A and B are shown apart, each in its own frame.
Chain A
Amino acid sequence: MSKRVLVVDDAAFMRMMIKNILIDGGFEIVGEAETGRDAIELYKELKPDLVTMDITMPEMDGIDAVKEILEIDKDAKIIMCSAMGQQAMVIDAIQAGAKDFVVKPFKPDRVLAAVNKLFNE
């Protein structure tokens, strides 16, 4: 069964990008969220196998969302989606428990490499 993914990003364009990459890679997109707050609600509801998480979003940013999701489910697999220049925030997210990160603009092979790695362990 293909893995179920929740895509979190405030920009529809970015969500589209990552969705296409993941679908091509054999994943199933079960939900999309525009803010950290929505992401938490959707996580509780959907229990996805993986979350791709943007960092800067309105209402609640990605780092706080990571922290809250991990409080709900300590085994949650979250990959951060970062732009260049957000290094410090990515480090915070990893410190908080995010498993890995990918950098915008997304390259399909890199995204899939990072995602697949999580499920190989």
Chain B
Amino acid sequence: MDTKDQYLQMFFDESAEYLQQLNENVLLLEEHPEDEEIINAVFRAAHSVKGMSATMGYERLTDLTHRMESILAKVRNKEMTINEFIIDTLFSGLDYIKLLLDDIRNNGEERTDISDYLSKLEKILNNDISIQEVLVKPEKTDLNLQDFTGMIALTEEEKEEIYNKMTSNDRIYNIRVILAEDCLLKNVRGYMILKKAQELGYLAKSNPDQREIEDEDFGDSIYIKLISALKEKQIQEELADIIDVEQVIIHVEDYKVEEKAVVEQQEAKSLVDSIKKQKDGLANIQVSPTVRVDIKKLDTLMNMVGELLINKTRLEGLNIDSDVYQDIIQQLDRVTQDLHHTVMQIRMVPIGGIFNRFPRMVRDLSKELDKKIDLIIEGADTELDRSLIDELGDPLMHIIRNSIDHGIEKPAERERKGKPATGNILLQAYQKGSEIIIEVEDDGAGINTEKVIEKAIEKGIITPDEASQMEERDKLNLIFHPGFSTSEEVTDISGRGVGMDVVRNVVETLDGQVFVESELGVGTRFTISLPLTLAITQALMVVINNEVYAIPLGSISETLLVAPEEIIQVRGQDVILLRESTIPLVEAARQLNLDIEYGKYRQLEEIPVVIINSGERQIGLIVDQMLNQQEIVIKSLGKFLVNIKNISGATIVGDGDVALILDVRNIA
């Protein structure tokens, strides 16, 4: 492993942690401007970032943090008082730190221009009050900073293949080659660029690919992922030298060949040196006794546990009449369960990791909109599978933005309504059974269902007739409909063209659900429920028309055997009364479109019914037979069979057969 890079990685990790700390503490400072503890904490963190940056030789970061530190020193010595302007200034500084760090990560050097900001800090330091103007927010407008790596993302197999080929001298370069607008015979030019890239290294991927280039099926840019031992500068020059190439942007990817068993002694020596140096420079950083593991390794481990489980289930299926056999099965059962549990535990991270970015956002947005909002966070230590955490950030951000933008009213309006001027948004997470619940609740204006209906009719989502027959809950749920957005005008805050339907999509791909409850004038609550883990779950095995199906236990509330005379007809629909609630009955075979005669269950003496939960709604699913409860490993049906109605995946059962997993949410 490259020693400089290992050093860098540490630098990124640490500085990201400090940046988060700084953000949190500056927020606190705004609330408690006199608190010396907080001022000192901010000061220390800024100082640490400065020390690290200076050690690494990043001058802008060093300058920036140095001056921020000077301001904080003045505050600490009571030469300056904290006011909104100072807080804003500090926050912009933190944004600049982040941009500079991103620069270094993506390009290996500092690119963001901070000279304006620095001179402002200088003026503040000199007590030049006249500059209390609005600070320009740092923005990423530079083309160089745009992240285009997604254009040439690799599949897992490709990664494996490529990473195996790499030597320790190799780097992964993500390259964007922009062609001149007046470029003639673009496809030939593109071909020459690919040819040149192949001369410079191993061309891992290009977008467009060679065929598309030859067919001239692309815009002004060609994205290339190149593995090469050459220097960034040389690659840049060679590509830029081709005629009609307007610009070449190169991002060096973080990946390095790691953990090669043989480390040359020379390297090992300098590695030790660099760690020593690092320790000198960052004496006050605590290193927690943990091991950082690539999440992919955990995925692999989880898959293997899944395989093990399938085989265990098959073994159980043999049902041999022998004490030794029973003993082994029991042992195996315990061990695999423990193993599964442990792997899941390892993959779990506190949801606080995504929650802690919201206080800053709420502060900035409420300021922008002249609203007063308190964000209350509860259950930040609730743990969730790592893969879910990563996906949840955006939907939550969207919901909270919506609450700030459309939910919470302006202070004057709130007072008129007799509410406290400051609105509340409660963000909380907790575990409920095998699910994690995340709620975003505000005490704002609530959702006006009449307006929702109006809008939905106007957009052609529903007809006025349908609207008149809709229940309140269904009206609310219209906001999740694709192409629906209640906001009249597109604001900067939420109406970005992505609506709540995107939120719902993301949550559903995670096998979760999202609900909304709202009362006009009182507030709105969004609830996201997610399974604890995606890969392995408990399920009830049932038989429908001689086939075995699995129903995840998470969505089952109970199972019943119903006598035919208990069935009542309401408006042509079979229902049963269960503890005073009416539950409609649905025949599973009919839902699955199986080609058999429906309604035969009425002739049975006892009808097996599985009561399924979907949000607040319950439904009774009629099956032919209930078998047993067992752990199943959820396998996807593969990319050719996505979006099959009512089937969410498949699993392998004891006898090696495949059983389909019912997606009961859509049925209920």
Chain A residues near B (Cβ < 8 Å): 82, 84, 87-88, 90-91, 94-95, 100-101, 103, 110, 113-114, 117
Contacts and interface: CB of A to CB of B under 8 A. Distances in A.
A91 B191 CA distance: 7
**Lowest 4 A-B CB distances belong to which pairs?**
A103-B184, A90-B188, A91-B191, A87-B187
Given A87-B216, A94-B192, A100-B243, 12 more contacts: A84-B185, A87-B188, A90-B185, A91-B187, A91-B191, A94-B188, A95-B195, A100-B192, A101-B185, A101-B188, A113-B243, A117-B241
A94 B191 contact: yes
A84 B192 contact: no
Interface in B178-192: 184-185, 187-188, 191-192
A91 B243 contact: no
B214 interface: yes
17 contacts: A82-B188, A84-B185, A87-B187, A87-B214, A90-B188, A91-B187, A91-B188, A91-B214, A94-B191, A95-B195, A100-B192, A100-B243, A101-B188, A103-B185, A110-B243, A114-B243, A117-B243
Contacts of B214: 87-88, 91
A90 B214 CA distance: 11
Interface in B69-84: none
B48 to A, nearest CB: 49
Nearest to A114: B243
Contacts of B195: 94-95
Nearest to B187: A87
Contacts of A88: 214
A89 B268 CA distance: 53
Contacts of A82: 185, 188
A62 to B, nearest CB: 14
Nearest to A100: B243
Interface string B183-206: 011011001100100000000000
Contacts of B185: 82, 84, 87, 90, 101, 103
Q: Considering residues B187, B188, B241, B243, which has the most beta carbons from chain A within 10 angstroms of its beta carbon?
A: B188
B218 to A, nearest CB: 13
A91 B216 CA distance: 12
**Interface class of chain A by DSSP:** helix
A103 B195 CA distance: 19
A91 to B, nearest CB: 5
Interface string B611-633: 00000000000000000000000
A55 to B, nearest CB: 11
A63 B241 CA distance: 24
Nearest to B188: A90
A5 B188 CA distance: 24
Contacts of A95: 195
Contacts of A90: 185, 188
Contacts of B191: 91, 94
A101 B191 CA distance: 12
A58 B191 CA distance: 27
Nearest to A80: B188
Contacts of A100: 192, 243
A101 B192 CA distance: 10
Nearest to B215: A87
B235 to A, nearest CB: 16
A110 B187 CA distance: 17
Contacts of B216: 87
B243 A84 contact: no
Nearest to B184: A103
A110 B243 CA distance: 9
Contacts of A103: 184-185
B194 to A, nearest CB: 10
B504 to A, nearest CB: 45
A110 B195 CA distance: 21
Interface in B205-263: 214, 216, 241, 243
A117 B244 CA distance: 12
A70 to B, nearest CB: 15
B599 to A, nearest CB: 64
A86 B54 CA distance: 56
Nearest to A107: B184
Nearest to B214: A91
Nearest to B210: A91
Contacts of A94: 188, 191-192, 195
A14 B188 CA distance: 21
B188 to A, nearest CB: 4
A101 to B, nearest CB: 6
A87 B195 CA distance: 15
A94 B242 CA distance: 13
A108 B243 CA distance: 14
B32 to A, nearest CB: 64
A29 B488 CA distance: 70
Contacts of A84: 184-185
B568 to A, nearest CB: 73
A54 to B, nearest CB: 15
Interface centre among B191, B214, B241 (most CB of A within 10 A): B191
A116 B246 CA distance: 18
